[in-house]
Chain A
């Protein structure tokens, strides 16, 4: 086998007191697609940023073709032949494709002017080679994410990248677009480029890679050629052996029915949704992206209107269903995107927490600041929030922000709490604290619906798992029946054995 193009040797990296990478070693070989897998917070993105020259490692070495290198900036990494394509393309939307490709290193004519003709020539050559019907003069503004990634790839090609790193490039792509991207990647691989592919989607990883490395908690926990891996093996390595320790869900005897939904329908989104949630129960709502899980949650909370169906809390059906009446009936809803929907980032933690209960704090129409602080302190202590409650929310880490969002809804003392992707983008430590809190709340008799795309989380936390596929409930699994395979089986809505399914690369797989 040929020697590696780039080698990472024993890389360490900490941010403040948080250790993100602890002795990671990794080699990328020419003509190979090497997939890097791991849960959120495993350290993949930090590793990518070190290779891109955005972060410096605290310890360890990077070697390119056997030579030790130091990337102090992105341009140094690019000059050395490392190109990175991020999940969200970072392009200048007001400028043309050609200008995007050559920014900061435009070819010049004999007079020292920018050689636009040469730029166009090179870019259109690449566009032709990739079989893409775009013109070098087209502005990036209005281009699809997939086409923007093509621009990023052409940028990498003009750098004559020897190493191409793709950080979750397929997250925002449709099936056709993924196929086209993979064709391009395969062509580059065959030319001898060393490709690193970071993804959560098992199907894609198995479809394109020659080698897989799995990271957990800042360490490499497994690495080897594709043939040594099975999906089960990858998942086991990603999650680690101690599923119980990671997901501290205590057994609770379910109490009375708190939420009952009957035959919910919203045209074109979901239909025939009926289920119950009991006090003390955590019900996981699983399914692929776009299956309609968040939409059902939004409808239960009264954000989106229902075409038909009934939502009852206790024995009372909700009439005049709006978020206000839902809150009054005892429903709390923690949305998926905490930056956009969950928090006012510039306001203090206190203000954020008490936003849901302001009307209770009013006296003579004025809000009592003492009471505000009291409530905020009570709930943030309970969540073990790190950071001061009079600081603005935007300086907190992702995990702590999520705790603030939870605290904000807990302050309303809900009977039913709906959490949508509660640990997305949250580090491992904060994640288990969020899990512990949810578990404790269930212990105290709260009914919880947890939407999650992370199957290990669903399996670890839920007493019962409801699986959705294309707007319909396709399975209800008890804790004992809820395995990764059973859930995926129902979530893809396919018949046939689970093993068959693996060979089919479904682009919109688990995300």
Chain B
């Protein structure tokens, strides 16, 4: 008898459903922004500026993948920027100290280093039971401080890095930078993992209702640990790619990007209270923020206003979520009043 019931979305057509979904509205917003800015300045969609846009968003989007897993579980990882900083400098140092070292080895070592640092977070949060906000705030400073001590005013320059490695950040395949390809492949892997595997669904379950997750037999500590280790490994990869993208790395590399990453994730529809959101949405959130700041540049908005606009975007996204939740609550009340 339930099968005959038509969903309300069917009634309005898939187009309507798409626009009302988070992914749909993000795509729409990005399209509108692009069209408007192009109308005012056609150079906005020139191949070079599109490539810049993709390069700019790639590393943030990569970190967003890890952060999504974390936020889905109602946790947060602030330490990623420091992990990126350390592993970026580590990658550069490897090229300097071991000339001729294969790029693949450098990337693997960076990922491994990020994984180890992520494990520190994981141990403190999952087994030490220290709230993630405090733990990763602490390790944000500890990792960065250690980085300053280690770097000691030095700097890695592009001349120290082999051209084949820098090519990751410069050369393209089918018009899309290699760096972006890497992120796209990982995006697909994460999207499938979160949707099609039990582990993925359990991240959602933990964020949605931790008590119920325990009752369902989920090993919550182990999943939390998995999340922070994955986030660390992703940050390690982002560190290696940071070096490939910029060539120059000093002790301040990637400082402060954790906030951009978290903003992107939340704008992309991953609820800060856990249990809701997708990696595709979160990456589109990163893209939207990136397009938006390019728009501001193209429209010659003073740069000191740009951060304020980013903040406003975050608040707007959260307000939109709250409004939708409120409307949903109203509708369900009506729906059940006759039961």
Contact = CB atoms under 8 A, between A and B. Distances in A.
Contacts of A99: 201
Contact of B216 (A103, A112, A135): A103
Interface string A147-163: 10000000000000000
B336 interface: yes
Interface in B213-235: 213-218
A177 interface: yes
A90 interface: yes
B209 interface: yes
Given A78-B217, A103-B216, A143-B332, A114 B2 contact: no
B208 A144 contact: no
B12 interface: no
A176 B336 CA distance: 13
Contacts of A114: 195-198, 201
A445 B217 CA distance: 55
A136 B122 CA distance: 35
Contacts of A95: 201, 204-205, 208, 275
B1 interface: yes
A102 to B, nearest CB: 9
Nearest to A99: B201
Given A104-B217, A127-B2, A128-B2, A92 B339 contact: no
Contacts of A124: 2-3
A135 B5 contact: yes
A73 B217 contact: yes
B212 interface: yes
Contacts of B207: 94
A137 B17 CA distance: 15
A113 B191 CA distance: 12
Given A78-B217, A104-B216, A144-B339, A92 B205 contact: yes
Interface string B57-72: 0000000000000000
Contact of A94 (B208, B332, B333): B208
Contacts of B276: 94
Contacts of B195: 114
A103 B335 contact: no
- Chain B CB within 10 A, most for which of A75, A131, A177: A75
Contact of B201 (A73, A106, A137): A106
A142 B208 contact: no
B331 interface: yes
Nearest to A132: B2
Interface residues of B, number: 36
B5 A133 contact: yes
Main secondary structure of the interface of B (DSSP, over half): helix
A113 to B, nearest CB: 4
Interface string A246-257: 000000000000
Given A78-B217, A90-B212, A103 B205 contact: yes
B211 interface: yes
Nearest to A89: B212
B329 interface: yes
A93 B214 contact: no
Contacts of A105: 198, 217
Nearest to B196: A113
B332 A142 contact: yes
Nearest to B325: A141
Contact of A128 (B1, B197, B213): B1
Contact of B209 (A92, A127, A133): A92
A135 B7 CA distance: 9
B77 interface: no
B191 to A, nearest CB: 12
Contacts of A113: 192, 196-197
A112 B212 CA distance: 25
Interface string A497-510: 00000000000000
A114 B200 CA distance: 10
The residue in B3, B196, B214 that gathers the most chain A C-beta atoms within 10 A of its C-beta is: B196
A70 interface: no
A510 to B, nearest CB: 24
A208 interface: no
B203 to A, nearest CB: 11
B20 interface: no
Given A91-B212, A92-B208, A94-B208, A133 B336 contact: no
Given A93-B209, A143-B332, A133 B7 contact: no
A134 interface: yes
B201 A133 contact: no
B7 A142 contact: no
B75 to A, nearest CB: 16
A446 interface: no
A350 B92 CA distance: 58
A447 to B, nearest CB: 41
Nearest to A90: B212
A94 B339 contact: no
Interface string B321-339: 0000000110111011001
A291 interface: no
Contacts of B192: 113
B275 A133 contact: no
B250 interface: no
Given A94-B275, A113-B196, A142-B335, A131 B204 contact: no
A95 B206 CA distance: 11
A210 interface: no
Contacts of B218: 103-104
A146 interface: yes
A116 B109 CA distance: 38
Nearest to A79: B217
A205 to B, nearest CB: 25
B202 interface: yes
A209 interface: no
B328 A142 contact: yes
Contacts of A134: 2
B132 to A, nearest CB: 19
Contacts of A127: 2
Contact of A92 (B197, B198, B275, B332): B275
A132 B2 CA distance: 8
Contacts of A474: none
A134 B329 CA distance: 17
Interface in A84-98: 90-95
A104 B339 contact: no
B216 A177 contact: no
A151 to B, nearest CB: 11
B209 A90 contact: yes
Nearest to A88: B211
A126 to B, nearest CB: 11
Given A95-B204, A104-B198, 6 more contacts: A90-B209, A93-B209, A94-B276, A133-B1, A133-B2, A137-B7
15 contacts: A74-B215, A78-B217, A91-B212, A92-B209, A103-B216, A106-B201, A114-B198, A114-B201, A124-B2, A141-B332, A142-B329, A142-B335, A142-B336, A143-B336, A144-B336
Interface of A: 73-75, 78, 90-95, 99, 103-106, 112-114, 124, 127-128, 131-135, 137, 141-144, 146-147, 176-177
Closest 6 CB pairs of A and B: A142-B332, A75-B217, A94-B275, A92-B208, A90-B212, A113-B196
